[in-house]
Amino acid sequence: MERMIAEVISSRELIWRLFWRDFLARYRQSALGVAWIILQPLFLVGLFVAMNQAGIFQTTGLDLPYVPYALAGLALWQIFSGGVSSCSLALIEAGHLIAKINLPRSALVFAAFGQATAEFLVRLAITAMACLWYGLIPDGFSFILAAMATLPLCLLALGSGFVLAIAAALFRDVINATTMALSGLLLLTPVLYPLKADSLLAKLNALNPLNYLINVPRDLALHGHSTDLSAYAISVGFALLVFLMGWRLFFIAQPHISERI
Amino acid sequence: MSEVLIKAQGLGKKFSKSLGRGLLYGAEDMARSFFGLAPRSATLGADEFWSLQDVNFELKRGECLGLIGPNGAGKSSLLKILNGIIPPSCGQVTIRGKVGALIEVGAGFHPLLTGRENIYVNGAIIGLSRREIDRKFDAIVDFSGIEEFIDTPVKHYSSGMYVRLGFAIAIQMEPDVLLIDEILAVGDAGFRSKCYNAIDRLSERTAIAFVSHAMPMISRLATQTLLINRGQVAYQGDTAGGIAHYHQLFGSQTSPSRMGSGEASILSVQFLDTDEVPINTVGQGRPLTIEMRISSRIEIRNANIDIVFVNIAEELVAECSTLVAEQAINLVPDQELAIRARIDRFSLNAGVYKVSVLILSANAMTHYDWQKDCTTIEVTANQVGIAGQQFAADWIVVDTNRPIKNDI
């Protein structure tokens, strides 16, 4: 455990550089550049607003304007989904590097998570602007609380990312399976719509840690309070467990990766 | 300054021949370490083979280990194990100090980023801190010789520029242990000489392990050699002995093969000395006669007989051809010919060479017979040069400070 932490501390500069490299390279050869970070969530929220107005799904029981609600949900969702998918690709994309240079492999995963964090921050800013537009101004205290309540979501994403990165390095199937699972989870988890009480989906989501890890921070930010705190506490424990186990698995497995990738 | 920096004990590495099974073995390895179980036994599983077995050595600061052996012998695997990129299947490596590697320099470059940006990224990848890179930035750019293009994305670089920048970053690392894999085969001569100087400067306070097929490099740099053949240590000890054993191995491991249409055939090839005695060893600069017996089933006008010499690094170093000599040889059906090529001064660099003989059409397009690696010839000399050809010259030294008497 100490060695794992020591590795992260000694490779913090490398993590930053790798993040910086990917961030620069990602938008360099595109006409719209960084604007893509903003366009993607706006597009998705636009779709859901349109579907909402067409009556495809109901937002009854929602005591907030839909747009900031959906934007906040998407921003939080993004840190999980973006984090998991970029982490799971981290080793494969650096395959050449790993085969030639001895570097702490966990830095690649942390740097990949950095991409998701950067996107999250941009989306957070968009959400904040939408809140202002609709006259929703969270007080500073609940905002800080909400920010802290987001951390377990990050840990869950990182932990899953560690496991998936190793698994994907061995079996490429994992990439497709991850993409599929994430798009399914986005629809099944109440990110873009509130749950209808007593529905099958609501019963399923009672067991879904993502439900609490996303909705509690969002409730805290937009309402200033949240229900489901005991379920949230269990989900936090789960996220912490996934993070520690995933990180440990990755740390132990990393010497074996380069010859298998 | 004589502490042991690299210590390898009983190193072995096995690989799986099948991808699927290899993945399962990999998963098993990971699961075993995760649950703290002992690693898989040191015996071979199904589909596995030893890529490297029972390697032991110690390297102190200031020493240099030359790793030699035929392609696929396991040299690069050993270097990867030393670099910590792949774990050994058995045995143990202990390395003290900072490890630098000149293996595929520039591997971490991102094509869309500029040279400047890549210096920082690649520097971080090989373990330099931002401050170190800041301090060495000018030296890196200066060494690479590409100031002009430092703000150009590296995807527009030529392969030479790419390698130069990569090397310039890697060499700034000031490692305790330096691992080199055939790196000096790149770049132009001017850059190579810079690299030699840089490595030479490092060699005093570094333990170096390097792989090379260039025996002159090995004999210059290595203080000890490890000859690896098919994963086994075939020789370990002083450099002259290592190279001699490698030459022997190279000579004994030639596998003759035959290609061509078969309408004409080379029946035999042998080397003769001045007394017409068959030989396989010749002193550098001595005369050598190559005698071939040839027959043909068809008529070939202006047949081209070509004898080629390939060195230990599999490079074509010399050729003796009737086409170049403008010697017309006409083959008639069912006639056997003895052809001799007499070379006054056989001036190849000391070493062992594989010899192939070909019968070609006049335009050198049709191969009637191609006896690849049909024999070997060893050239002996007191000193080994670098280039394939060593011209014997009369060296005349004139002291230009001596007053010249004017007799007229």
* Residue contacts between A and B (CB atoms, under 8 Å): 85
Domain boundary residue, one of B230, B251, B272:
B251
- For residue B87, the chain A residues in CB contact (below 8 A) are 255-256
Cα B75 to its chain centre, rounded Å, is: 11
- Verify whether the Cβ–Cβ distance B121 to A17 is below 8 Å: yes
Q: How far is A254 from chain B (nearest CA, A)?
A: 8
Q: Looking at the structure, do residues B37 and B81 belong to the same domain, yes or no?
A: yes
- Buried b / exposed e over B325-363, threshold 16 CB at 10 Å, is eeeebebeeeeebebebebeebbbbbbbbbbbbbbbbee
**The domain spanning residue B344 has which CATH number?**
2.70.50.60
A96-151 pLDDT, tens digit per residue, is: 888 888 888 999 999 999 999 998 988 888 888 888 888 877 777 888 888 889 99
How far, in Å, CA of B85 to CA of B79, rounded? 9
Provide the whole-model pTM: 0.80
- Kindly list the domain boundaries of chain A, sorted by start residue: 2-257
B360-371 pLDDT, tens digit per residue, is: 998 888 999 999
Q: Looking at the structure, do residues B58 and B80 belong to the same domain, yes or no?
A: yes
Confidence label for A227 from pLDDT (cuts 50, 70 and 90) = confident
B119-152 pLDDT, tens digit per residue, is: 999 999 888 888 999 999 999 999 988 889 999 9
From A12, A98, A260, select the one nearest B108 (Cα to Cα). Answer: A98
Residue B213 has which token pair?
């097929």
pLDDT at B88 over 70: yes
How far, in Å, CA of B178 to CA of B83, rounded? 9
pLDDT at A43 over 80: yes
Q: What angle do CA B51, B54, B56 make, to 5 degrees?
A: 120
Q: Looking at the structure, do residues B38 and B140 belong to the same domain, yes or no?
A: yes
Q: Looking at the structure, do residues B277 and B169 belong to the same domain, yes or no?
A: no
Q: Are A42 and A71 in contact (CB under 8 A)?
A: no
Tell me whether residue B78 is in a domain: yes
Identify the pLDDT of residue B195. 85
Identify the pLDDT of residue B184. 63
Tell me whether residue B208 is in a domain: yes
Identify the pLDDT of residue A16. 92
Identify the pLDDT of residue A196. 78
DSSP result, A39-96: HHHHHHHHHHHHHHHTTSS--TT--S-HHHHHHHHHHHHHHHHHHHHHHHHHHHHTHH
DSSP A195: P
Query: Which residues, at least 6 apart from B150, have a Cβ–Cβ distance to it below 8 Å?
Result: B114, B115, B116, B141
Percent of chain B with pLDDT over 90: 42
Identify the pLDDT of residue B47. 78
Confidence label for B406 from pLDDT (cuts 50, 70 and 90) = low
Confidence label for B348 from pLDDT (cuts 50, 70 and 90) = very high
Give mean pLDDT, residues B212-224. 86
Nearest to B22 among A100, A258, A260 (CB): A260
pLDDT at B105 over 90: no
Identify the pLDDT of residue A182. 93
B21-68 pLDDT, tens digit per residue, is: 777 777 777 777 777 777 776 677 777 888 898 999 999 999 999 999
Chain A, 221 to 250: residues with Cβ < 8 Å from chain B are 248-249
Confidence label for B209 from pLDDT (cuts 50, 70 and 90) = very high
Is A171 part of the contact surface with chain B (CB cutoff 8 Å)? yes
Identify the pLDDT of residue B82. 92
- Verify whether the Cβ–Cβ distance B125 to A102 is below 8 Å: no
Nearest to B29 among A20, A96, A256 (CB): A256
Query: Residue length, chain A?
Result: 261
Percent of chain B with pLDDT over 70: 96
Identify the pLDDT of residue A50. 85
Confidence label for A8 from pLDDT (cuts 50, 70 and 90) = confident
Least confident of A140-144, A228-232, B103-107, B403-407: B403-407
Which residue segment(s) compose the domain that B61 sits in?
A: 4-251
Tell me whether residue B197 is in a domain: yes
DSSP A172: T
Is A30 part of the contact surface with chain B (CB cutoff 8 Å)? no
Q: Looking at the structure, do residues B222 and B365 belong to the same domain, yes or no?
A: no
- For residue A21, the chain B residues in CB contact (below 8 A) are 110, 113, 117, 121
Nearest to B26 among A16, A100, A260 (CB): A260
**The domain spanning residue B146 has which CATH number?**
3.40.50.300
Domain count for chain B, please give it.
2
Tell me whether residue B116 is in a domain: yes
Q: Looking at the structure, do residues B54 and B144 belong to the same domain, yes or no?
A: yes
A164-210 pLDDT, tens digit per residue, is: 999 998 888 999 999 999 999 988 888 888 887 778 888 888 889 99
Which residues of B lie inside 8 Å of A (Cβ-Cβ)? 15, 22-23, 26-27, 29-30, 33-34, 80, 83-87, 99, 101, 103-104, 107-108, 110, 112-113, 117, 120-121, 124-127, 129-130, 153
Q: Looking at the structure, do residues B155 and B120 belong to the same domain, yes or no?
A: yes
Identify the pLDDT of residue B172. 85
pLDDT at B187 over 70: no
Identify the pLDDT of residue B407. 57
Q: According to the 3-state scheme, what is the secondary structure of chain B?
A: CCCEEEEEEEEEEEEECCHHHHHHHHHHHHHHHHCCCCCCCCCCCCCEEEEEEEEEEEEECCCEEEEECCCCCCHHHHHHHHCCCCCCCEEEEEECCCEEEECCCCCCCCCCCEHHHHHHHHHHHCCCCHHHHHHHHHHHHHHHCCHHHCCCEHHHCCHHHHHHHHHHHHHCCCCCEEEEECHHHCCCHHHHHHHHHHHHHHHCCCEEEEECCCHHHHHHHCCEEEEEECCEEEEEECHHHHHHHHHHHHHHCCCCEEECCCCEEEEEEEEECCCCCEECEEECCCCEEEEEEEEECCCEEEEEEEEEEECCCCCEEEEEEHHHHCCCEEECCCEEEEEEEEECCCCECCEEEEEEEEEECCCCCCEEEEEEEEEEEEEECCCCCCCCECCCCCCCCCCCCCCCCCCC
Identify the pLDDT of residue B139. 92
Comparison of pLDDT for B200 and A259, the residue scoring more: B200
pLDDT at B1 over 70: no
pLDDT at B290 over 70: yes
Give mean pLDDT, residues B228-236. 91
- For residue A260, the chain B residues in CB contact (below 8 A) are 22-23, 26
Tell me whether residue B204 is in a domain: yes
Percent of chain A with pLDDT over 90: 32
pLDDT at B249 over 60: yes
How far, in Å, CA of B253 to CA of B229, rounded? 10
Give mean pLDDT, residues B172-180. 89
Tell me whether residue B391 is in a domain: no
Q: Looking at the structure, do residues B219 and B339 belong to the same domain, yes or no?
A: no
Q: Looking at the structure, do residues B242 and B267 belong to the same domain, yes or no?
A: no
